[in-house]
């Protein structure tokens, strides 16, 4: 649901049995801007990644993609706690990174009031090389998946 777009509101949807529930993307091939999106009050279940926001920079001087001013609030992102093999990787993930000499940005994000259950990571906001992330990323209610037993 969604992709390379800005100024969208995605609200009140129920999504289940997906690889990624809601995904936004910007790079130097697609529009270099996918900003000002609102994702609120959605129910996502049985997903590997609940909400994914990605920006990948290109070579130096080409472009610096932005996924700025996102508001992600009131979403319920849940996997089945009864099945120990049925967990997700990231409830909400910001994958922001450069490639070559390019930079990528996720600035002024608001991620709060979400419920995330049975994922390895609740809210992933660590930028990779060439990426910059700023904003407010809590409070969110997060119950992580337990570590696997061997």
- Return the HEC string of 34-59: CCCCEEECCEEEEEEEEEEEEEECCC
Using the structure block, give the residue that is written with the tokens 């849940």.
78
User: Which residues on adjacent β-strands are paired with residue 136?
Assistant: 110
Q: Are 68 and 37 in contact (CB under 8 A)?
A: no
CA 50 to chain centre: 7
What are the pLDDT digits (tens) for 87-144?
789 999 999 998 877 899 999 999 999 999 999 999 999 989 999 999 999 999 999 9
Residues 57-68 pLDDT 10s: 876 667 889 999
Strands 71-73 and 14-27: unpaired
pLDDT range class, residue 16, cuts 50, 70, 90? very high
Q: pTM for the whole thing? A: 0.91
Percentages helix, strand, coil for the chain (3-state, rounded to 5) are 0, 55, 45
């Amino acid at each position: 649901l969604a992709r390379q777009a800005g100024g969208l509101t995605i609200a009140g949807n129920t999504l289940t049995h997906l690889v990624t529930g809601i995904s936004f993307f910007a790079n130097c091939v697609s529009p270099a801007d996918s900003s000002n999106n609102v994702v609120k009050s959605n129910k996502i279940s049985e997903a590997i990644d609940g909400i994914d926001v990605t920006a990948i920079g290109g070579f130096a001087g080409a472009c610096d993609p932005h996924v700025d001013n996102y508001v992600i609030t009131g979403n319920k992102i849940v996997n089945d706690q009864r099945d120990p093999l049925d967990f997700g990787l990231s409830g909400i993930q910001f994958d922001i990174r450069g490639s070559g000499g390019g930079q990528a940005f996720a600035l002024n994000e608001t991620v709060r009031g979400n419920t995330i259950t049975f994922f390895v990571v609740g809210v992933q906001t660590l930028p990779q090389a060439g990426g910059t992330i700023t904003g407010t990323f809590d409070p969110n209610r997060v119950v992580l998946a337990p570590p696997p037993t061997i």
